[in-house]
Amino acid sequence: MTVLLLFGLVLVLIQIILVRRIAFRPIPWFTRMAASARLKSPYAYGGFLFIVNMVIFLVITALVVFTVMMNVAFSLFLFAGAGAFISFMIWIQMSISREGTKKEKRIIGGIGSAFYWVLTVYLLLQIFLLPPSAPEQDPFMQFVGLLMGVVISLTAAVSCWVTVYLAKGKPVNPVSR
């Protein structure tokens, strides 16, 4: 588990370095969406990011469960990698397509990553509520699975907030597109 935690920390540090050094170009659809009247408030925009994170998580989880039920090998790694890549690209696009202060980006990132924070708390509660050991049960493996879920969701929460806060780019004018 220590190796998993260290790996997650290294990935977050690499992500921080890359997001700060690369200037991304916004996709016009994200710019138009960020300029819509319903998403003018950073709270509404953060709520939209919350919903996007939830949808990405649910779709990737459904794909993994479906392929595991069909005995497709390595589907977890394929879909987890694809989900992480898609999440990072959406977080970056949502951050750079909206002009705003650092405070607004902190609000958007905090509300948007709240889904992963809630998931982390839920998984921690499940760890504390594990039943006592019995001969016919294996709570240790449940503990390991829940702990891996905590590490992954905690890494996703921190990565979402950091990406939204630190991503830089030049927003294009939505009217000119």
In the chain, % of residues over pLDDT 70: 82
177 has pLDDT over 50: no
Mean pLDDT in residue range 53-60: 94
For residue 160, which of 103, 122, 112 has the smallest C-alpha distance? 112
CA dist., res. 53 & res. 88, Å (int): 10
Give the CA count within 13 Å in the CB-facing half-sphere of 24: 24
Going by pLDDT thresholds of 50, 70 and 90, the confidence category of residue 36 is confident
How far is residue 128 from each of residues 14, 77, 140, 143, measured CA to CA in Å? Answer: 32, 28, 12, 9
CA dist., res. 58 & res. 40, Å (int): 27
CA dist., res. 160 & res. 123, Å (int): 18
**Model pLDDT for residues 102-129, shown as the tens digit of each residue:** 899 999 999 999 999 999 999 999 999 8
